Homo-oligomer: A and B are copies of this chain.
Amino acid sequence: MERREIVALQNLLKANDLIAEQINRRLTEEGVLLVDLISSPGAGKTTLIERTKDLLPDLKFAVINGDVQTDRDARRLKEKGIPAVQIATGGECHLEAHMVEQVLDDVLSERPDIIFIENVGNLICPSEFKLGEHLRVVLLSAPEGDDKPQKYPLAFLTSQVFLITKVDLVQHLPFDPERAKEDALSVNPKLRVIKVSALTGEGLDEWASLLREKLCELRK
């Protein structure tokens, strides 16, 4: 990158962080937990939200879906009774805080306890942009391979939770969950790592408890 480009990017990130802070402050005051989900396409973000709803029936969810094109995920969630607002980025590879800010009133009108942001399916670009989240979660599905955390370090470095998804497939794959965990912890030793399967339910209770705990901390 040229110096001019770097300065432009730095300014963009600074402006983004200011808006992200405003979002974070507002939601903290209102006692609404904001969770940013980051992963490659098809790691299971939408399915995770659907299954989590079943485990936390007393909590109200709302979802902000970031997608390059189509509203397929938002439609899936609405069919499940979860309010979802679509942001079609039209080619942009990530969400930015101002995009979230624009839909926030709309989302809050559903009076949710937890707002999930389903970021654009991309393990690289979304990591650079804070969206005001209280919790950032990176998902890596078993079929993607246990060597990925160090190859895409920023997503793992900026997250607090690492969900290894689709672990029911491990028996059919050259994938070692322990190796994936070690690789991620070498990037960020503070990561909480949970192995989950939407099919068998493995790990989902632990994940749901974690969300409940974070919501409780936020509201105390």
- What is the distance, in angstroms, from A150's C-beta to the closest C-beta of chain B? 5
> Which chain B residues border A173 with CB–CB below 8 Å?
169
- What is the distance, in angstroms, from A52's C-beta to the closest C-beta of chain B? 19
| Interface of A: prevailing SS | loop
Which of the segments A62-70, A77-85, A103-111 contacts the partner chain?
A: A62-70
Query: Nearest chain-B residue to A169 (Cβ)?
Result: B172
> Which chain B residues border A40 with CB–CB below 8 Å?
40-42, 121, 123, 144
A122 within 8 A of B: yes
Count of interface residues, chain A, beta-carbon cutoff 8 Å: 34
Distance of A151 Cα from B143 Cα, bound (Å): 20
Query: Nearest chain-B residue to A175 (Cβ)?
Result: B42
> Which chain B residues border A151 with CB–CB below 8 Å?
41, 67-70, 72, 121
- What is the distance, in angstroms, from A178's C-beta to the closest C-beta of chain B? 17
Out of B1, B69, B150, B166, which one reaches A152, CB within 8 Å? B69
> Which chain B residues border A144 with CB–CB below 8 Å?
40-42, 143
Chain B CB within 10 A, most for which of A42, A67, A122: A42
A13 within 8 A of B: no
A148 touches B41 (CB 8 A): yes
8 contacts between A and B (CB under 8 A): A41-B148, A42-B143, A67-B151, A69-B151, A121-B151, A121-B152, A122-B125, A125-B125
